[in-house]
Amino acid sequence: MSDPSVIHDIGYQRYAGPRLGRGAVFGALYVHGLRAAFGLGRSAKAKIFPWLAVGIVSLVAVIIAAVRSQIGVLPLDYQQFADTLSWLIIFFVAIVAPELVSRDLRAGVLPLYFSRPLRAFDYVAAKVAALVTAAWLLLAGPQFIIFLGGAFTTKTGFRGVLDELGDLLPGWGYSLIWAVLFAAIALLVASLTGKRAFAAGGIVAVFLMTTPVVGVLAFLDTNNSQELAGLASPMTLVSGVGSWLLPGPGTGIDVGRFGPVYLIELVTVVATCLLLLLTRYRKVASL
Amino acid sequence: MSLIATESLTKTYGGKVTALADLTVDVEPGVIGLVGANGAGKSTLLKILLGLLAPTAGTVSVLGIDPTRDTDAVRARVGYMPEHDSLPPDVSAAEFVTHLGRMSGLPRTAARERASEALRHVGLYEERYRQIGGYSTGMKQRVKLAQALVHDPDLLLLDEPTNGLDPAGRDAMLALVHRIGTEFGISVVVCSHLLGEVERICDQLIAIDGGRLLRADRISSMTTASDVLAVEVSEGTDALAAHLAGLGLEASRDGRLLLVPLADDAAYDRILRAVAELDLPLHRLEQRRHRVAELFATAPALEAADV
């Protein structure tokens, strides 16, 4: 006979339920990172910047869609949209990348991760995937808004929707290039320091300090140096790849016949950043 | 089955610094104290047990599994509490422990339930939705312990769990560790440089110094027949000592105290009778267990640390 109002200490219960493998752990860390990128599950302060960025890009997209529906001319196509808003992506990754990795470094949480069945590779891959997704969503979401605007106002029926989709998909691919390159560079810089402010400053510096170099090179007289100038900065690098792979009216910069060079550099930079990031965490994980 | 077994385990860094040298131990499940001065190789041993470091030579097995080869299998069954601060300040304890439960492979709802349970067991149930940044040092240590417990391990590795705690906090933490080892059915390895505090809660002890094994044994076998009777008399201490020596009881002086080894039950009566015969004013009579520290006479480093 026990009194129902009494709380009984039932003692320690062993856990007999399922234990998931590395794949599920990776998934959980990825979702955790993606939510953290937008400040979900964090304090209100952490939500301000990501959602401000989301608000700005959405507003721009809505304006573009509205202008097109009224005057029938697209002020910015999908690629130009990504190019134009790239400065916002810089600030987004500069705020979010430290949130994803510097925070763990500063608090010393990593020993807790790496004493579990989770490898340095899983940790790095989940963080990169989360930031790439977040940065991509920031561009792809508004691009989708523009697409919806176009699809609903098209005058050629279903064919018009398909044409519009044919423009949207390369645009999404182009946004993915932006997201991958920026995420790789930003995470590498952020993984070097536990101080979020330093990390953010370092990331912005990497992107903005290289831009004047492009300007200087572009002023040189020879045709080649003008066409190769874009290699010096991550932003013009993506533009260059974009204008080679997706030639269109007024996109990106003039790369002449050096398109493949741009693509090779892009792949090399991304691969190098990811390898350095992995090496860094291999070292951290063994401590 | 032995809990932890090592065979000539050796770890050198860069061929120069020797962290562990030829360490062979075999311990059974229970509460195990791992003691040694700072830099004796305790943390290195823990990292090898977790598969974070590969040994330079020798073999090691944890719960019958080789952590160098089957790392994931070992880590899934082991909980680790690091020595240093390792908590983010801007999340709640419930959220953080849940997240780490998921990192150990628990499904979402199970992780949440187990996190609440673990925090309840360490005594943070009421405070679990507060941000960790506002916790006291003692509460932070408890959160670290809770995250090690969340996935229901078979073995807990605790690196200096009483670090930075005040005496009351130390006692509470040690009592909690003891409870986990005895009531929860989870084996615990407690790392400490304070022999005096681990000997109270452990049933086995591994003492290392400079990477070498000093002694590994059950505490009961270390302290058998080592009880002493502390006698304090207001005057005539020397006379009493001489009298006891005449009775065949070698007493040693410790300040104003006389420490007399208690070989058998009769010795107690003989000491009492000696005091009565000399008609000395008896101040104190106290039976005490030999501190394990006194068994490590060969380890000056240990005794120096045990303050």
CB contact under 8 Å between B147 and A111, yes or no, is no
The amino acid at residue A91 is F
* pLDDT at res. B289: 62
Query: Which residue of A112, A123, A281, A282 is the best one to mutate when testing the B interface, meaning the one whose CB has the most B CBs within 10 A?
Result: A112
Residues 86-105 (B) with a CB less than 8 A from some CB of A:
86-91, 95, 99-100, 102-105
* pLDDT at res. A217: 79
Residues of B with CB below 8 A from A14's CB? 152, 185
CB contact under 8 Å between A115 and B91, yes or no, is no
The amino acid at residue A66 is A
Report the distance separating Cα A283 and Cα A75, nearest Å. Answer: 49
- For each of the domains in chain B, give its residue range(s) and CATH number, in order of start: 4-220 (3.40.50.300), 227-288 (3.30.70.100)
* pLDDT at res. B296: 60
Report the distance separating Cα A50 and Cα A39, nearest Å. Answer: 7
Q: Does A112 touch chain B (CB under 8 A)?
A: yes
Three-class secondary structure of residue B27 per DSSP: strand
* pLDDT at res. B295: 56
Range list of H helices, B108-259: 108-121, 137-149, 167-182, 195-201, 219-223, 237-246
Report the distance separating Cα A90 and Cα A70, nearest Å. Answer: 32
* pLDDT at res. B273: 85
Report the distance separating Cα A195 and Cα A200, nearest Å. Answer: 9
Instruction: Please list, residue by residue across A55-73, b when 16 or more beta carbons sit within 10 angstroms of its beta carbon and e when fewer do.
Output: eebeebbeebbeebeeeee
CB contact under 8 Å between A19 and B103, yes or no, is no
C-beta of residue B190 within 8 angstroms of C-beta of residue B32: yes
C-beta of residue B209 within 8 angstroms of C-beta of residue B177: no
* pLDDT at res. B294: 58
Q: What is the CA radius of gyration of chain B?
A: 23
* Token pair of B9 as six digits: 């385990």
The crossing angle, in degrees rounded to 10, of helices A234-245 and A86-97 is 130
Instruction: Kindly report the nearest CA distance between residue A188 and chain B, in angstroms.
Output: 21
Q: Which among B52, B75, B110 has CB closest to A117?
A: B75
Neighbouring C-beta atoms of residue B17, cutoff 10 Å: 10
C-beta of residue B165 within 8 angstroms of C-beta of residue B138: yes
Which residues of chain A are under the pLDDT cut of 50? 1-2
Per DSSP, the residues of A69-128 read HHHS--SS-HHHHHHHTHHHHHHHHHHHHIIIIIHHHHHT-HHHHHTSS--HHHHHHHHH
Nearest chain A alpha carbon to B104? A116
Q: Does A2 touch chain B (CB under 8 A)?
A: no
C-beta of residue A266 within 8 angstroms of C-beta of residue A174: no
Three-class secondary structure of residue B85 per DSSP: coil
What number of residues does chain A have? 287
Q: Does B134 touch chain A (CB under 8 A)?
A: no
Q: Which among A41, A107, A116 has CB closest to B103?
A: A116
Q: Does B117 touch chain A (CB under 8 A)?
A: yes
C-beta of residue B117 within 8 angstroms of C-beta of residue A13: yes
Residues of B with CB below 8 A from A118's CB? 103
Residues of A with CB below 8 A from B53's CB? 286
Query: Facing residues of B65 across strands?
Result: B62
Chunked in runs of 10, what are the mean pLDDT values of chain B (307 residues)? 89 85 91 88 91 90 92 92 91 94 94 94 91 93 95 94 89 92 92 84 89 82 66 84 81 79 77 85 75 54 42
Report the distance separating Cα A29 and Cα A127, nearest Å. Answer: 8
Encode B67-124 in three state secondary structure.
Answer: CCCCHHHHHHCEEEECCCCCCCCCCEHHHHHHHHHHHCCCCHHHHHHHHHHHHHHCCC
Q: Does B295 touch chain A (CB under 8 A)?
A: no
Query: Facing residues of B9 across strands?
Result: B23
